Amino acid sequence: MKKIVVNDKMQKGYTYILSAAMGRGFDREFRPDLTPKDMLALGVFGGKYMTDCCKEFPASWYKKAKLNSERHDPKINYFGVNASQPLSVWRKKGWINAKHDPRGWFQWYCRYYMGRRGPDDERQIRRWAAMVRHVVQLKKGCRPGDLTCRRRQRQALLHWAYDSRTL
């Protein structure tokens, strides 16, 4: 078990324990298509997400990451469109566990992937699983391999570790 201490713009002195091996020991219901490293390299969240968190996660995740520390830039996203809502919307809807993961689902996923297990895992996995409805919509509404069809929805799925490029 390894202890991680976080000191970034949104958390100071936050600690957590890695109790599982990186990328292993996932809940049997949680089978994401993409790793956090894959997601960052593809371009997610307009490149702005977690640009001040590089010390918390492996340097290898950032080698090919498409980031913009100054602003959210939809052109950085794989599909070149904005598929994000502001963090303020997420907070207002109660989707953020501010104590543990003030940046939301992707921060939770990065930490879960690293090996953290905690009391919010079940809720976050349910939220991830609920995104499958978008996979179904893409399969019904788009020709296989047509990456121009529903680009915003495809980008949103990338934000949730579903590889919409394969649909």
pLDDT tens digit string along 33-58? Answer: 999 999 999 999 998 888 888 899 99
The pLDDT value recorded for residue 85 is 84
Residue 93 has pLDDT above 90, yes or no: no
**Higher-confidence position of 95 and 63:** 63
pTM of the model: 0.94
* Structure tokens given for 131: 């995104």
Q: What's the pLDDT band for 160 if we cut at 50, 70, 90?
A: very high
pLDDT tens digit string along 73-87? Answer: 999 999 999 998 877
Centroid of chain to Cα 138: 20
Mention every residue, 6+ apart, whose C-beta is less than 8 A from residue 141: 149, 150
The pLDDT value recorded for residue 49 is 81
pLDDT tens digit string along 6-21? Answer: 999 999 999 999 999 9
Q: Residue 10: which domain range?
A: 2-166
Overall number of domains in the chain = 1
* Structure tokens given for 2: 């390894």
Q: What's the 3-state SS for the chain?
A: CEEEEEECCCCEEEEEEECCCCCCCCCCCCCCCCCHHHHHHHCCHHHCCCCCCCCCCCHHHHCCCCCCCCCCCHHHCCCCCCCCCCHHHHHHCCCCECCCECCCHHHHHHHHHHCECCCCHHHHHHHHHHCHHHHHHHHHHCCCCCCCCCHHHHHHHHHCCCCHHHC
